[in-house]
Amino acid sequence: MKKVVLAYSGGLDTSCAITWLKDKGYDVIAFMADVGQGEDFDAIKKRALKTGASKVYVVDMKKEFVLDYIFPAVKAGAIYEGKYLLATALSRPLIAKHQVRIAHQEKATAIAHGCTGKGNDQVRFEVTSYLLDPTLEIIAPVRIWEFKSREEEMDYAKEKKIPINVTKKSPYSIDINLYGRSIECGVLEDPWVEPPEEIYYLTKNPLKAPNKPTYIDLEFVKGLPVKINGKSYSPIALLEKLNTIGGNNGVGRVDMIENRLVGIKSRENYENPAGTIIYIAHKELESLVLDRETIHQKEAVSHKYAELTYYGLWETPVKKQLDAYINKTQETVTGTIRL
């Protein structure tokens, strides 16, 4: 039997994908990435096995995500189209890397994901997989299966007795990890519609934030944040702490029209309290310690770095070359910024 490693979320699409792939003759191994989305992995794991996965992997990638993905983007000052700090985009090459690793470990010949044909994530998963191992077959069930609507998919789930989560499905498409939260679809598709308060989870409405300023001193060593108000934090704890401080002050809400990789414009909303604080403080520190020509040159590199990240080209030689350049610029980016 051919084996496939499916990036599984526990939602309707990837649950149906397990059964659909099995019907196509595959032995399905479900794979879940913990990038700090705070889910009940045990419950989801049980559901995957009940649906028919022969094995389930849950991989804790939080530390690696911060150290090898978020922090390099912080040093680079990566921001897409001037507004998006790339939380979702940064997680995809990491998830794909582990998916390929598990495929090798399990001697699987294919990987599968539950992305649709409209978004960026399908490209990021597939390009990364292809860069790491071009011999792996890539299957995107949602893009090719016969269901024309969610209702048809639900009927299929019922017919095949696929256990699906009964809680009401959110009208939004949401992706969350340690670095931020992305919200799209539903009423947000109309750019005239003010984002309803219900879409936010990490940030308070600025109207409900304290009426007096919260001050923080953020200390960096070689371009990376290490201390808040003189106290050291581990990389994960530092992001969590800044998410709380920023969130309480309504920091990090973004509302934008974004140019997707696939040629579609889309309305996107983001919450990124920690990332926003770090991005601003880092830029202020650089303005104090870097020389004019480095600052100007680095602007061009940041722009390119954000583009490559957004396009899923994290594993390319040019991205690694830019990392070398950026690391060189960060040698003197040490000091404390008060916000």
State yes or no: residue 258 binds ligand ARG (CB under 6 A): yes
Whether residue 13 lies in the annotated active site: yes
Which of 268, 302, 329, 330 binds ligand ARG (CB under 6 A)? It is 268
- Least separation in angstroms between CB 113 and ligand ARG: 11
152, 143 in Cβ contact below 8 A?
Answer: no
Instruction: Report H helices in the chain.
Output: 12-23, 41-51, 62-65, 71-76, 87-105, 121-132, 141-144, 150-159, 235-248, 273-289, 292-310, 317-329
Which of 105, 170, 173, 287 binds ligand ARG (CB under 6 A)? It is 173
By rule CB under 6 A, what string of x and - marks binding of each residue 105-124 to ligand ARG?
Answer: ---------------xx---
State yes or no: residue 126 binds ligand ARG (CB under 6 A): no
- Least separation in angstroms between CB 173 and ligand ARG: 4
Positive or negative: CA dihedral 53, 112, 94, 255? negative
36, 202 in Cβ contact below 8 A?
Answer: no
41, 58 in Cβ contact below 8 A?
Answer: yes
Stretch that binds ligand ARG, among 57-65, 169-177, 228-236, 322-330 (CB under 6 A): 169-177
State yes or no: residue 182 binds ligand ARG (CB under 6 A): yes
Q: Torsions phi, psi of 123, nearest 5?
A: -70, -45
The residue among 329, 232, 228 whose CA lies nearest residue 283 is 329
State yes or no: residue 13 binds ligand ARG (CB under 6 A): no
State yes or no: residue 336 binds ligand ARG (CB under 6 A): no
State yes or no: residue 203 binds ligand ARG (CB under 6 A): no
Binding residues with ligand ARG: total (CB under 6 A): 11
